[in-house]
Structure 1
């Protein structure tokens, strides 16, 4: 069984193998292989599938919520950080085809790449299995965020969530250190979050903000687990 077949079994949706391979192909790999097709068009489609499925589900679940409340909940669920967490739960990073440089810089765990690829998979599911199956896939994978308002809030604003969790445990305010590497057109940022002087977690991203948010979410998850 190939890795992609294993991923298909985990997704539980019949996705055309060629479409799945395309969904898993990052532009960095495509550029190293003669400008081959990559997943950005599927990502564009999947973003729409994701947004519609989540919007409808939130509308049904919260009949008393205002437009602003619904929009805030949706923003947390479909954020780059939240989608990257969803991608990690199914081990998506190990299946993504990356260029050598991107792979060497930890691209398989970058929040932006994971989130974009997750959306591309949703797009491939829509083209292969239709609207109902792709919407069901979205809700099956993203559902845990909808069911847990605390996780949704942390995904929407992980730095604030971490600060509140640290304060609740009588600990100091989180501090961030960010290092950058790579050429100007493809910078990789690694953020380390420290609490009371001790490193708690790291996060990577294509910007300082995304890296800090990824680190904050990882640290928040750790603090919550520790109680």
Structure 2
């Protein structure tokens, strides 16, 4: 049954694995492997995929942006290969739907967790590298990371929306920024938080997440979108 899902994911990614087991391991979370003792999981592939991704991005930036210094290139690369950027790529690939994890992990929001999806991207990159080689993998990365790379080069990637909102609003003097937890729901192991951010007592953004921090970041992003500082 899962093999059919793997083939579906493979097709959506435009791939044709010679050894499909690479992709199977890449999309297996440790929580699933802990319940199925004969299963491999993707942490070792993440380790390899991170290095392959770093090399491909570094090579691309080095060859195409000769006017930029080492420091500038390092900063751009860090934005491209950071967890948030990998998560954006994972969403575009719809990887969350295909990751094997324990029922408990899934019930606590694991399928949508930033770290799990970001790690899966690196593991998939390693799987492609092992199955298809470096040049094929480089082409895959450049295709699927094109939007992220362009944003990083144009300095449009924001890692901390709360800080960005504060810096933007305080350019013209002090303002009152307040984050308020509106409610939370669900059992302790799967609690979801809902937050609003107010600027001078006017609600400007709402956010939700499986931690207060995540909910506040999303509320800040919504406020920045409303203020037309960032795009959706």
TM-score under structure 2 length normalisation = 0.78
- 2:58 is matched with which residue: 34, 55, 60? 55
Alpha-carbon distance between aligned partners in 2 of 1:11 and 1:131, rounded to the nearest angstrom: 17
Deviations 1:69-105 (A, max 9, x none): 1111111111111100110112110100011111001
SS of the residue 2:206 aligns to: strand
SS of the residue 2:40 aligns to: coil
Give the match for residue 179 of structure 2.
175
For structure 2, which runs of at least 5 residues remain unmatched after alignment? none
**Contact persistence 2:207–2:215 (CA under 8 A):** no
How far off is 1:36 after superposition? Answer: 2.3
**Contact persistence 1:14–1:129 (CA under 8 A):** no
Give the match for residue 103 of structure 2.
100
- Map residues 37-48 of structure 1 onto 2, 5 A cutoff: 37-48=40-51
**Contact persistence 2:29–2:99 (CA under 8 A):** yes
Q: Larger Cα Rg: Structure 1 or Structure 2?
A: 2
**Contact persistence 2:195–2:216 (CA under 8 A):** no
Alpha-carbon distance between aligned partners in 2 of 1:35 and 1:213, rounded to the nearest angstrom: 40
SS of the residue 2:207 aligns to: strand
Alpha-carbon distance between aligned partners in 2 of 1:166 and 1:151, rounded to the nearest angstrom: 22
Pick 1 or 2: higher relative contact order, CA cutoff 8 A, min separation 6. 1
Alpha-carbon distance between aligned partners in 2 of 1:35 and 1:220, rounded to the nearest angstrom: 47
- Map residues 16-95 of structure 1 onto 2, 5 A cutoff: 16-34=19-37, 36-95=39-98
Give the match for residue 12 of structure 1.
14
Structure 1 position 200 matched with structure 2 position 202: no
**Contact persistence 2:84–2:114 (CA under 8 A):** yes
Alpha-carbon distance between aligned partners in 2 of 1:218 and 1:160, rounded to the nearest angstrom: 10
SS of the residue 1:2 aligns to: helix
- CA 200–60 in structure 1, closer or farther in 2 if over 3 Å, else same: farther
- CA 188–65 in structure 1, closer or farther in 2 if over 3 Å, else same: farther
Deviations 1:121-178 (A, max 9, x none): 000000001001111111111110112248854344443344456779xx96463759
**Contact persistence 1:159–1:217 (CA under 8 A):** yes
Deviations 1:164-201 (A, max 9, x none): 56779xx964637598954xxxx988674524445522
SS of the residue 1:201 aligns to: strand
SS of the residue 2:157 aligns to: helix
How far off is 1:35 after superposition? Answer: 5.7
- Map residues 146-165 of structure 1 onto 2, 5 A cutoff: 146-149=149-152, 153-163=156-166
Alpha-carbon distance between aligned partners in 1 of 2:204 and 2:220, rounded to the nearest angstrom: 16
Give the stretch that moved more between structures: 217-226 or 48-57: 217-226
Deviations 1:47-66 (A, max 9, x none): 01111111111112211111
